[in-house]
Structure 1
């Protein structure tokens, strides 16, 4: 335990920071302090458990963080494990009472891509989507799953490599690895679709990069195909009503269609 860092964090919190995650200068570099939050279990998670039990689809199981100190300790353990595997994650600096301190892992990928949209730099956007797909494949190749590999939970480092942040959820403890990785894929492609609604080629590019890296016989594609088959009736029912659907439902339909076309060619 670094007593000076603990005093600095305690003093900063006493001043009121107004954010759950906030930066600090420590040993001549920027670090981030992340505070604990209460458990996030909701009624929706009970519905997820029920759906997983009656369908036999493990990836539907909820992976909510336990919250509190236990949630922080879980994230710290995940960061240590991933760092030992060579995954680009923030270095764990210290664990305090209801907070953890981590190093800086680069700019948020989603923010970088939004900046490139404003600049009109289509080549940079496509390059980053492809890099993100390959990076997720690399993470899975190390025998782990992320839990929420959204564009906002990926980082773009100074060396142009993609890193990962935010490991509050631990799907690896809630379901078989291949199911957790299949769930990662669904969340990843949905995140691209949600960010770039009118750019379906970007979704296809990110998905193609992932597939090229893992191969068509990757074991995580087995449960992914199963859930795609399961969702087909839902897709067929909703498709005629798409003009009346909300944004997330529409994004889900388009992401589903891209995966189905690829997996069932």
Structure 2
């Protein structure tokens, strides 16, 4: 019997979490986590569990998932982005173009609850497209929808999230009444909108390209903490393959059953 393809785990290779990996015969992959080596399989499972839990929080109960939104409207965070822009001289011209795009988009009514809803809906719809139909059915059945009613279910979820975001207020902002349009023109938040858009393009070009035509990418920073688990899941699909993504979705189903 040829056992050349069997994993005997008699040697190991240690990687950082930023490195790609591939298991060869007789090799075990370990990850270096802050100076400690952990088996890749353990790290893999923990990462998936955390992502699955976050996804379930958002789709089952977006109102309680509001905890993910800490810092969405935050003066200190905006100051960080403003400071970053000051030193980011290489991208001055590009940022200037993005600022004009943001100004024109706001002038044409970008900053409203409906567009926040649209951005979320586009992200969720793209995300659900890659879930196997059988698994998708399990998820929808648990959240009161159906495979046939995917668009309706996504609309309900995105609407609830958008309403939650739009209903929030802080010392400086209230989404109702159009005040957000003026706030977005202030330096720090403008830079935050731009850098979040660029970050989305780097992390998930597919979603960025869906949002960009309607300038919805410039609203991404408002929903980023809630949508990040979905973006991370799509990155797993891109980097680790559909099988890994399917595995993550099965964990999502298991987590939903606990709700």
Which fold has the larger relative contact order, with Cα–Cα distance below 8 Å and residues 6 or more apart in sequence? 2
**TM-score, normalised to structure 2's length?**
0.28
Structure number with larger C-alpha Rg:
2
- Structure with higher strand content: 1
TM-score by length of 1: 0.27
